[in-house]
Structure formats: structure tokens, C-alpha cells
Amino acid sequence: MLRLTVWFTLLISLSANAAVHLDFHDESPDAAAAGSASRQRGAVDIDEILRQYGISQGSTKARIIFEWFDKVARDPVIGARVPGGAPALVHVLLDPEQREAMMSSGLARLTPADRSRYLVLLTRVLDELVPVNCFGLVDIVTIMNRVTIAQMSDAQAELYLDLVYKIMVSSGSAAPVRVPTREEYAAASEAMSRAVVIELGGDPANVDRYMAYTANPSTATPADVCWMTRVTLHALARMPAAERDVMLLPVFIGPPAASLADPDDQRPAQMPFPASASPPGTTMP
């Protein structure tokens, strides 16, 4: 079986860091009072965000962003999860640990179908907007920081913000998260290994390259990082939906799911994953 530890780290980084790479500016009272009230949500100057990223006023993408801010600002669940309105939400999105806690908790509580949609979108964005040399970088967090919502198509931006909204809402839930059993996880891991080999066309040289990267990620070049990332995400897309979700859940739940099931109990575990604190061991580097 291929060693999969590295792709877990990779996906944690991708998922946590992908939480709205929009720079939210100027949370001061002066900024909150400036400009048209209809063009601001709390202390967030959306006009300034659009200008910075070259998004035209009145464009479809501008409308999508305005409507998203409205929905987020008015949502009672998000309001209860992040008291203090838009400025407090901006603080969460800008703080790596808080953002990761929110994303991990929310992704773990999404429906399996929405988790799959998120993965598919992430794969498309990586394929279409990240060059094959990963901008000459090897840190996936830094690489993803190069991608902004302005670069996405309107359809991608709308889907992305819709999923992030659902993640925000889900992160406030106290519902327990189902942890796969050891047997489920072992079967899904084997399926993942097969999917990687199929994605590589069964070519021994490519399989060796993939395994060498997972064994020694510190020696990877930017091209290696991009190649391995794409292979991994495409392999996940090949998997049956149920097995794919078994692989994804422990990524978002983190170390508390390492045992995957109580050794003395083969029933699926129920993990009361915290909705308000970062899961241990998942802080981005």
C-alpha cells in the first residue's frame, strides 16, 4: 500500500488555507463609516476588496460577492458562532488557527456530497490556476495563497462561496462527527492506493516517483509538489463516493480520529468534534 501520510498533510493544508483568500481590509470605525452603507457589510469595505482584485463594479462576480456577504452577515447561526458581526468574522478568516478550526470543523460536518463538491472544485482550481511548477514554490499553503477568487470563473466563485458559507454554518454545529471504523478505513486506503496507481497509468517509474516523494517530501522540487498534488486529488476523484469520504473524514477530524474506532467496539465511532477550537495537530505550518 502506498504511504499516504503526506497527502493527509497536503489536504489539511489545502482545505484550511482555501478559506476565502480575499484580503479583508480596514476594520476601523472610520472605515465602517466611510462610503455607501449598501456597499459595506459591517466594517468590511467590499468596494475596496473589489478594486484591489480588479473585479469590476456591476459585474457578475461583484454581485456574487455582495450577495455572499449579505447572506453571511445575516445568518443567525454564523452570528452565534462568531459574535461581533463582520469585523469578528474577518478576524477569524485572517487568523490561521481560527480559520483552520472553522474550516476543519465545518468540512467534517458537511454532507458527503458537499465534501465531494468541495474536493472537485479544489482540484479544478489547482488544475486551471496553478502552473505546473507551482509558481516555483514547495509549500502548498504559500502556493494556494497565490490563487484568489478574482481568478476563478464566475461559476467557480459562486460554488466556492456557497460551499464556504455551508462550512461556516456547519462549523457552529455541536453534532457529533462519524468516525470510520478501522475496517472501513483500511478498505478505503487500499482503494486509494489502487486509484493512485491507475491515475499513474501503472507506470513503475511514476509509481516510484510518487512513493519517493511521500517518503521524503523535504527533497521535493516545486514540480514534484504540483505533480504529486494533482495525482493525489485526481486519484481521490476516481474513488467510489463512500470510500472517498472515508478517506476525507479523518483528514478534517485530525488526531482524535487516529484510532478510527475503539479496538473493542467495531461499531462506527461518534466523535463530538469541537466546533470552536482547533483540532490538535492540524495547525498549518
pLDDT tens for each residue of 195-247: 999 999 999 999 999 988 888 888 889 999 899 989 999 999 999 999 999 98
Query: How many Cα atoms occupy the beta-carbon half-sphere of 181 within 13 Å?
Result: 9
The CA distance from 260 to 175, in Å, is 18
Q: How many CB atoms lie within 10 A of CB 19?
A: 21
Mean pLDDT of 133-150: 85
pLDDT score of 60? 94
Indicate the average pLDDT of the chain. 75
pLDDT tier at 254 (50, 70, 90 boundaries)? low
The tens digit of pLDDT for each residue in 72-131 reads: 888 888 888 777 766 777 777 777 778 778 888 888 899 999 999 988 998 998 899 999
User: At residue 172, does pLDDT exceed 70?
Assistant: yes
The CA distance from 22 to 206, in Å, is 36
C-alpha cell at 151: 481568478
The CA distance from 100 to 13, in Å, is 9
Instruction: Give the pTM.
Output: 0.75
User: At residue 260, does pLDDT exceed 70?
Assistant: no
The tens digit of pLDDT for each residue in 8-58 reads: 445 544 554 454 444 443 333 443 443 343 344 444 677 777 887 788 888
pLDDT score of 175? 78
Q: Please tell me which residue, 165 or 43, carries the higher pLDDT value.
A: 165
C-alpha cell at 24: 479583508
pLDDT tier at 278 (50, 70, 90 boundaries)? very low
* Secondary structure (3-state) at 29: helix
The CA distance from 18 to 15, in Å, is 5
The CA distance from 152 to 53, in Å, is 12
